[in-house]
Structure formats: C-alpha cells, structure tokens
Amino acid sequence: MDIAKAERSDLPSILKLQYEAYQSEAEIYGEMIPPLKQTIGELEEEFDEGIILKAVVHEEIVGSVRAKP
C-alpha cells in the first residue's frame, strides 16, 4: 500500500469510494447521511482548503483521509 497526496484528478474516485463506504451506515440510520450527500464541488473545495491523502493498492484508491490546517 502506498500513501500519497491526492491529485485533483483523483477526486471522482475518492467520492465514489466514499459513497460506497457509507452505504451500510445509511442503511442503519435509514436516511442519506452527509457523506452520501457530498458533491464533487464540495470535495473540490476541501481539496483547495486542506490536504487529502489517498491510500493506493495496485493503482486503485482504496482509502482516503482529509485534514485542514
């Protein structure tokens, strides 16, 4: 596994992964939770305002984390 700073071009893959990862929580709560409502525009704002790291295995993004200064 490699950890690297995400590129803007990674954002659609990160958003898709986020959507897939939070499906079970949405089922538990019976509603659309905030991570499932996030748009690509909102994620781009987070990218511009902070740092997004990606975890990559065999050239596939398998995780991400965000931080703001």
Per-residue pLDDT of the chain (69 residues; tens, 9 = 90+): 999 999 999 999 999 999 999 998 888 888 888 889 999 999 999 999 999 999 999 999 999 999 988
**What pLDDT was estimated at residue 62?**
97
**What pLDDT was estimated at residue 25?**
87
The string of DSSP letters for 19-68 reads: HHHTHHHHHHHTS--HHHH--HHHHHHHHHHSEEEEEEETTEEEEEEEE-
**What pLDDT was estimated at residue 26?**
87
The whole model's pTM is what?
Answer: 0.88
